[in-house]
Chain A
Amino acid sequence: MRKFIDLNLKATGETLQEMLVKAGNLGFTKVGVDIEGVESDLDIVSRVNLTPRNVNELSRGLKKYRRRVEVISVQCNNIKVARQAAKDHRVDIISFPEYRNGKRRVWLDRQEANLASESNIVYEFLFSDLLGKNEVSTSKVIHNWGMELSNALKHDIPVIVSSGARSVLELREPRALASMMVLLDVDEDKALDMVSTTPLKLVERNRRKLGDGYVSPGVRVV
């Protein structure tokens, strides 16, 4: 039986506690939150979302958090940060800002995908990007996702889908998150992997790295 994981809950305080209970009811076994010291029946994955303005800020953030949290996500707001994040092995997840009218968007283009594929970086889609929008904005988001997904798949970059929920009403059941990929013509099994196997592998890999005795991939002090 599949275990589902939502790696990106963005709420705080009481809302987060409500969301954790709801996430459990919806069928998630693990959830990722960007706050430390959260207690729940679910397996909590510690995560940090970095939004650096330049390469130096990115390096500082990675140095500070790499040994402290299980998952590091970088939102690339400009091309220099995007390229550096794609090259850096300390980054786990990259994401890009939404489309904004009149602004050139940084996205997972061919060059970015090429760099990311060599660094074991995962690309994340947020379901919340589709909510609260009119038809035109939604169609633009889906169009951008289509282009990014095609680049990611061409370069074998793992893709995950998270809710990105800020409230209980933005949470969706795991199979609904997976079915979102039907909009991008992804097979059902592959889509389900994006909310189960792929994020689980990422978390397990990082937990092994943070565990005692880890030296480098395949090497461990026994």
Chain B
Amino acid sequence: MPVRDYRRRYLGFNVEGAVGLEEKTVYNTLINAVSRNYGVNGLSRANMKLLEYNVKKNSGIVRCNHSFLREVRVSFALIDNINGEPACIHVERISGTIKSLRDKTKSES
């Protein structure tokens, strides 16, 4: 039976404060947050990827390694500005599959 080498977690997040940010800006902010706290080694262990970002809703989905989830979460919590503008990132939901994350988000909204 095929088994994944490592498990993933999908984080649904919401950006507050800064409005109309480009996907690349958000991606850089998230990457910088993790590398600021845990360095390049941490970033490689987090294996993070921004899967989608909705500019209108200021929300998006990030994928990371499940064993580095808490570290990613605290890194996001420590973000207090984006491009010098006061902002914060709230992780709203975490799920093991992107499908269930989307389903839960849809059912809530």
Interface residue ranges, A against B (CB under 8 Å): 26, 127, 130-132, 135, 138, 167-173, 175-177, 179-180, 182-183, 188
Contact = CB atoms under 8 A, between A and B. Distances in A.
A130 B90 contact: no
Contact of B77 (A127, A168, A188): A127
Interface of B: 16-17, 36-37, 70-71, 73-74, 76-78, 80, 86-88, 90-92
Contact of A131 (B37, B71, B76, B78): B78
A172 B77 contact: yes
A7 to B, nearest CB: 18
Question: Which secondary structure dominates where chain B touches chain A?
Answer: mixed
A182 B88 contact: no
Contacts, number: 48
Given A169-B17, A175-B73, A182-B70, A135 B36 contact: yes
Question: Which secondary structure dominates where chain A touches chain B?
Answer: helix
Given A182-B71, A182-B74, A176 B91 contact: yes
Contacts of B73: 175-176, 179, 182
A169 B76 contact: no
B44 to A, nearest CB: 18
Contacts of A132: 80
A70 to B, nearest CB: 27
Interface pairs A-B: 5 shortest CB-CB:
A176-B77, A179-B73, A182-B70, A179-B74, A131-B80
B16 A175 contact: no
A11 to B, nearest CB: 14
